[in-house]
Amino acid sequence: MSQETNSPFPWGKRTYIMGIINVTPDSFSGDGLMRRGEVVDAGLRQAEQFLQDGADILDIGGESTRPGARPVRGSRELERVIPVIKAIKYAFPEALLSIDTYKPGVAKKALEAGAGWVNDIWGLRADPKLAEVVAAFQVPVILMHNRAAPGYTKWKNQLGARYVGSHYKNLINDIREELLNSVALAQKKGIPDELIILDPGIGFGKTIEQNLELTDRLDEIKSLGYPLLVAPSRKSFIGYTLNLPPDERIEGTAAAVALSIARGADIIRVHDVRQMVRVARMTDAIVRRKKPDKIN
C-alpha cells in the first residue's frame, strides 16, 4: 500500500467525514448490512453512495458496539468484514478504508485485504497485540476512550440502551488521562505520534449528562495535541435528550457534529454521510474561515 494511503490527512484544513459501514445484524441504528440480504452487494452500494456523498473514509466493522451487545468471535468477524473490504477496495481502489476492531487477528487480515487504518474502541487495552499489528503496518490508529460495562446499561423501548451510574472522579481529566495511557501503549510498541488519532468515546460508558458535557468540552481533549475523531451519530444521548428513536436523530446529530467541529474535531464518524458532509462544510466555513468545497 502506498505511503500516501497510509498517511494521515493534512489536519486543520477541513473536517473529514468517516462513513459507517456496519457488517452486522444488530447495529443500534438499524443500518446493519446483514439485514439487507446479500451483504457484499449491500456493502458495495453503501460504499458507492457514501463516496458520492463526500465521505473521506469508510469505517467497516463486523461486531456491534451498542450497549449490551454480545461479543463476536474473531473468525466470525473475519467472515463478515473481509469479503466486504476486498470488494470495496476492488471497486474503488482509491477509497480509504478503516477496520473497526479491537482484535489483532482481524486487524491484520483486514489490513492485508486493503484497509488502511485501524479503529480500536478499546484504545489498545483489550489486546496489547493489536498495537504490534499497527506498528508492523505503520498505519494510523484511532484510540478510543471506553468504560463500557454491561451492568451499567438500561433499556427503553424506541430509545434503546443507555449507560447509567458511570462514575468519574473528574470526567474530562479522567478521559484525558486514560487516553494518554492508550497513547503510551502505542508509543511503547513503536507507533509514532503522527499515526495516532484520539476519540473521546462519546456514548461508551458515559451517562447522558456526561456525554453532553463531553461534547461541550471537546476542546480540552483536543488540547492533548492529537487529531480528534468524534462519533455522536444517532447516539442514545441524542435520543434520550430529544425523546426520539435512532432513525429520527438526524437534527440532533447535526447539532452535535457542528459543535464538535467548533470544539476542534478533525474527523466526524457518521451514518448519514450526505447530510453531515453539508453540516461539516458549513461549520468549516464559519470556524475555519475557508470557502467550502463544492458538494452534491
CA torsion 248-161-221-228 (nearest 10°) is -60
269 is catalytic: yes
Calpha distance 291→14 (Å, rounded) = 10
Hunting for cell 461486531 — which residue is that?
63
57-61 sheet: strands from edge to edge:
196-199, 141-144, 117-120, 97-100, 57-61, 16-22, 267-270, 229-230
Q: Which three cell numbers mark 117? A: 487504518
- Of 14, 109, 234, 235, the active-site residue reads 235
Pairwise CA distance, residues 208 & 213, whole Å: 9
- The catalytically annotated residue of 176, 206, 263, 269 is 269
Please give the Cα distance from 232 to 223 (Å, whole number).
20
Residue 235 a catalytic site member = yes
Q: Please, are residues 29 and 236 in contact by the beta-carbon 8 Å criterion?
A: no
Please identify every residue annotated as catalytic: 235, 269
